[in-house]
Amino acid sequence: TPAPLTVSATADSKVYGNTVTNSGVSYGVGGIATSSVGYTVSGLIVGTGDAVNSVSLISSGAYANSAVNGGSPYVVMPSAATGPGISNYAISYLPGSLSITPAILTVSVSGIDKVYDGNNVAAVGLSGNIIGNDSVTISKAGAFFIDKNVGNSKAITVSGLSIYGANAGNYTLNGVTTAITTANITPKLITANFSVANKVYDTTTMASFTASSNQGVIAGDIISFTAGSATFADANAGNAKPVTISA
């Protein structure tokens, strides 16, 4: 009669999104693998040349989208052992386990240029290596330029990175909660209103003026307007004559 033989699936693990385990079992369609690893054998008679070369392993956790919290550790069931002399044994198959660990989510941060607005608050885009159509949102607590002033490629510090969503449990930020990126702060357009004084004809086109008001200056900022010269369109007497003010 056949000798008893036990084939036991081992405890294994894989990262979410993968179909290859840490021990090297490569699962395919239907969560099935024909593998030379991922199991142990007990009961082979020494010196006969008998061997188990491969075993079929199946698990509902073998799929790339098998969730971390969806049943992990999942059961792994062995069957269909093959190898020389295997027909001389009555084989018992014992299940093993397959744990799913979260995938490391690497966050990419892109700074968004802004027009000077008197503060250092920054807007950024957040993205990452989210798999397929997984519902995962990357959020932040804050994003700030190094200062409020105009400049190119200004450093932005992003803090309080976190993730949420229906599939967020399948990912980890691996302790990373901050990021650095850059963006530009461009000058804000403002408008100055000037008052030009009337004058008595003096054969010149020179005009006198003062800045009477401005529009668009951020509250708290102090702006003074200067100009190099002001000239009438010509030197002749007249009403409502055009005046050009230049820097």
Report how far residue 40's alpha carbon sits from residue 38's, in angstroms, rounded to the nearest whole number: 7
Report how far residue 160's alpha carbon sits from residue 142's, in angstroms, rounded to the nearest whole number: 7
Report how far residue 96's alpha carbon sits from residue 171's, in angstroms, rounded to the nearest whole number: 24
* Token pair for 219: 């509250």
Binning the chain into helix, strand and coil, the percentages to the nearest 5 are: 5, 45, 50
Q: What is the pLDDT of residue 213?
A: 66
Report how far residue 121's alpha carbon sits from residue 9's, in angstroms, rounded to the nearest whole number: 55
* Token pair for 42: 């007990």
Report how far residue 166's alpha carbon sits from residue 162's, in angstroms, rounded to the nearest whole number: 14
Q: Are 197 and 176 in contact (CB under 8 A)?
A: no
DSSP string computed for 48-79: S-----EEEEEETT-STT--TTSSSSEEEEEE
CA 195 to each of CA 192, 233, 240: distance values in angstroms, whole numbers, following the listed order:
10, 16, 12
Report how far residue 59's alpha carbon sits from residue 27's, in angstroms, rounded to the nearest whole number: 9
Report how far residue 92's alpha carbon sits from residue 8's, in angstroms, rounded to the nearest whole number: 8
> Residue 144: phi, psi to the nearest 5?
-140, 135
pTM to 2 decimal places? 0.81
Q: What is the pLDDT of residue 38?
A: 97
Instruction: Scan for tokens 């295997």, then name that residue.
Output: 86
Distance of CA 194 to the CA centre of its chain: 50
In three-state form (DSSP H/G/I as H, E/B as E, the rest C), the secondary structure along 82-124 is ECCCHHHEEEEEECEEEEEECEECCEEEEEECEECCCCCECEE
3-class state of residue 168 by DSSP: helix
What stretches in the chain show pLDDT beneath 70?
Answer: 212-213, 227
